[in-house]
Amino acid sequence: MDEPDLFTAAAEERQAREPGRAPLAVRMRPRTLDEVAGQRQLLKPGSPLRRLVGGSRGPAATSSVILWGPPGTGKTTLAHVISQAVEGRFVELSAITAGVKEVRAVIDGARRAVGMSGKETVLFLDEIHRFSKAQQDSLLPAVENRWVTLIAATTENPYFSVISPLLSRSLLLTLESLTDEDVRALLRRAVADERGLEGALELSVDAEDHLVRLAGGDARRALTTLEAAAGAALEKGEESITLATTETAVNHAAVRYDKDGDQHYDVASALIKSIRGSDVDATLHYLARMIEAGEDPRFIARRLMISASEDVGLADPTALPTAVAAAQAVALIGFPEARIILSQAAIALALAPKSNAAYLAIDAALADVRQGLAGAVPPHLRDAHYGGAGKLGHGQGYQYPHDLPEGIAAQQYAPDAVHGKEYYRPTRRGGEARYADVVEWTRGRLKGE
């Protein structure tokens, strides 16, 4: 089986050979720990990271590493720097696009390389939290037997998103968002540096402030917006990057789907509204956009589970189990196959009859409770199991429904304050018609009609 070439060291090298064509953020990627901005706690003299990169220990002693931190704070960058210390092969996979097949191919390649040339392989796995448990399990033998040195990056808490056998075999390094001053220094370096804009343009003070604000501690975002602003300034023939040019350039760049920005919520909202509206084709369109944007399949599955109850409810009581099964399957399988599971569940929900009666029912009951409509539980329903309960009259007069021919006793269950309130108002759509009949009959029996 061939190793995937897409994200390999060869691709990196190609980019490095043609630096003019690589994005600014890639060109400015720190090559040594000293060029890394922020992350002071990781870079202290004598820190585990320094020792790892210091190279005093042989490659075989290098442990696997998990890098946890917000986007654009240097996880991929640190992976590159660590791998240089190992002086082995560097293979990069992204859990968004790769599956078990690709992981196996890398492991096989690593074992061959050790056998043939003694060279170690560093496997950099980006966004490991997007791998299901089963997919993460496939990495274990390679990590345990040191066929590869795994460097995994995640933006999510690894205690929840990384399986514990991997976590316990790895050094966990936590990165933090860059401070505004770190970002400012980075921008200035990129403007002046020969790998960057080579001093061809000036960056005005207010434009710099704007870029720092927009970056929100994300170095990649800072450099990407700087590049867009510089491009716009050059197009206009300006010598300085002004605030006005920066604003136009950045608005322009914001059109694409940004999974961490507002569009992430807009598209997720449109997906749910399309399901609620029974437009199956629009549903699939928004689902495809979310998948294509690299949305976490578990996030999509969680939305589907909520919709199954909120919008379909008892009109099709199989909708919720369908969505829950999809969520479980997605967690076990991950992309790319998870798209099929999500599609099946989304189609089922879009085409199911709709009822929001369960949602309205609980909110009506909650509203009354929050207004103080509560009161004592009727005595005949109270716990009669402890000593002395009988003396208090607890449980007295309670009718056991199973003893009655229809299984329903005409007795009061709710406290006086809400007795007779009807919270559940079923629709007659789909399977809920049956519930509508049943609730009418049951309420009659309870009243002794």
Ligand X SMILES: Nc1ncnc2c1ncn2[C@@H]1O[C@H](COP(=O)(O)OP(=O)(O)OP(=O)(O)O)[C@@H](O)[C@H]1O
Cβ within 8 Å of residue 218, ≥6 positions away: 70, 71, 72, 73, 177, 178
In the complex, what is the shortest distance from the CB of residue 394 to ligand X, in angstroms, rounded to a whole number? 59
Between helix 297-307 and helix 319-333 the angle, nearest 10°, is 170
Residues 102-161 that bind ligand X (CB under 6 A): 126, 153, 155
Sorted by sequence, the CB contacts under 8 Å of residue 194 that are 6+ apart come out as none
**316 φ, ψ to 5°?**
-150, 90
Nearer to ligand X, 219 or 304 (CB): 219
Helix-strand-coil split of the chain, %, nearest 5: 55, 10, 35
Task: In angstroms, give the least distance from the CB of 189 to ligand X.
Answer: 8
Binding mask of the shown chain, residues 37 to 76, with x at each position contacting ligand X by CB under 6 A: xxx-----------------------------x-xxxxxx
- Residue 29 contacts ligand X per CB under 6 A: yes
Q: How far is the CB of 168 from ligand X (least distance, A)?
A: 23
Q: How far is the CB of 27 from ligand X (least distance, A)?
A: 8
The torsion region of residue 113 among left (phi > 0), alpha (psi -120 to 50) and beta comes to alpha
Q: For residues 82 and 319, which CB has a smaller minimum distance to ligand X in the complex?
A: 82
Residue linked to tokens 């309130």: 421
Q: How far is the CB of 228 from ligand X (least distance, A)?
A: 15
User: With CB under 6 A as the contact rule, which of the stretches 3-11, 218-226, 281-289, 384-392 interacts with ligand X?
Assistant: 218-226
Which residues, in sequence order, are bridge partners of residue 121?
A: 89, 148
> Least CB distance from residue 188 to ligand X, whole Å?
12
Residue range at the interface with ligand X (CB under 6 A); choices 109-117, 200-208, 219-227, 323-331: 219-227
d(CA 112, CA 145): 14
186 binds ligand X (CB under 6 A): yes
For residue 25, state whether it binds ligand X (rule: CB under 6 A). Answer: yes
Q: Which residues pair with 170 in a beta bridge?
A: 64
Do the Cβ atoms of 62 and 81 come closer than 8 Å? no
- Of 220 and 394, which CB lies nearer to ligand X in the complex structure? 220
Strand segments, DSSP code E, in 79-134 are 89-94, 121-126
Size of site (CB under 6 A) for ligand X: 25
Site residues for ligand X per CB under 6 A: 25-26, 28-30, 36-39, 69, 71-77, 126, 153, 155, 178, 186, 219-220, 223
